[in-house]
Amino acid sequence: ASGLHTLAKAAGKLYFGTATDNPELTDTAYVAKLDDNKEFGQITPGNSMKWDATEPERGTFTFSAGDVIANLAKTNGQLLRGHNCVWYNQLPSWVANGQFTAADLTDVIQTHCGTLVGHYKDSWDVINEPFNDDGTWRSDVFYNTLGTQFVPIALQAARAADPNAKLYINDYNIEQQGAKATAMLNLVKQLQADGVPIDGVGFQCHFIVGEVPGTFQETLEQFTALGVEVAITELDIRMTLPSTDALLAQQEKDYQTVVQACMNVDGCVGITIWDWTDKYSWVPSTFPGQGAACPWDENFNKKPAYSGIVAALA
């Protein structure tokens, strides 16, 4: 067998996948590799299903960009991950700056989540990044208006729209033991106690070379012990540029370590990288001077990191 998705399936996982984004789809050499469902059995849209893209005005839904990616995945026989329904970032101003009563914002969330999850019937990051790094709730229009209730409101609307969708909460810096992972564990327990639908927790895994947390597998196991599934949803491992042979060798080990943690945990269903090539990584624009975070380089050549992933999947 060859190809990351083929190997992941053979090892009992549901998928190995990648994020992509609409602007990249004009690059035919890029699309040719994205279309290879032996490498990628699952696709997550990097931007085009976010709130600013899908409901720019209240009640006006635009699915054109998201549909391009959903249709690409369908044509290729790839699973889709909806990303995302409720997030503090990339909100249209009518949401971000809106003055809502609790009842009104409840209606806004129900309409948004219900419409999205009804339109794209697949796994969904229903809630994205609800916590600060210290485990407190992020101060945004949702929390400030509704308290923690925005979470069950969104999850219940998603479940009503599609009883079969896997409904996730997705976050970063929950991969290691600490206040943020504990806050997420407690949220899952509370939702379960309250009878709110929650199927999975997504671990974004935006890591730094040489700094993959040693307690990642243990953390995954704490969540699967609650009866939810887990997934690696946005994996990349960045370095300070320029890349060197030593950094690329460490990155190979780091990719292997992360993928191995998922392999070792039955309830870890799949792995998604946050784009497969350095050419389209989000990292350099957000962290100037850093990059080279993906398993393929800017010229679409496999890096040592690719071998690290294969070593864990094989």
Residues tagged active-site: 234
- For ligand G3I, which residue of 90, 136, 186, 301 counts as binding (CB under 6 A)? 90
- For ligand G3I, which residue of 40, 124, 282, 296 counts as binding (CB under 6 A)? 282
Question: What are the DSSP calls for 83-130, one per residue?
Answer: EEEE-SSS--HHHHT----HHHHHHHHHHHHHHHHHHS-SEEEEEE--
H-helix or E-strand spanning residue 262: helix 245-263
Interface pattern 20-59 for ligand G3I (x via CB under 6 A): --------------------------xx------------
H-helix or E-strand spanning residue 71: helix 64-76
- Tell me the closest approach of the beta carbon of residue 3 to ligand G3I, in angstroms: 24
Query: Would you say how long the chain is, in residues?
Result: 314
Q: Which is nearer to ligand G3I, 282 or 313 (CB)?
A: 282
Tell me the residue nearest to ligand G3I as measured from the CB: 282
d(CA 137, CA 129): 9
Confirm or reject binding of residue 234 to ligand G3I (CB under 6 A): yes
- Tell me the closest approach of the beta carbon of residue 252 to ligand G3I, in angstroms: 22
Q: Give me the amino acid identity at 56.
A: P
Contact set for ligand G3I, span 123-142 (CB under 6 A): 128
For residue 11, what is the DSSP state?
T
Q: Which is nearer to ligand G3I, 204 or 251 (CB)?
A: 204
Confirm or reject binding of residue 89 to ligand G3I (CB under 6 A): yes
- Tell me the closest approach of the beta carbon of residue 46 to ligand G3I, in angstroms: 4
Q: Give me the amino acid identity at 137.
A: W
Within 8 A by CB and 6+ apart from 107, the residues are: none
Sites of contact with ligand G3I (CB under 6 A): 46-47, 89-90, 128, 204, 234, 282
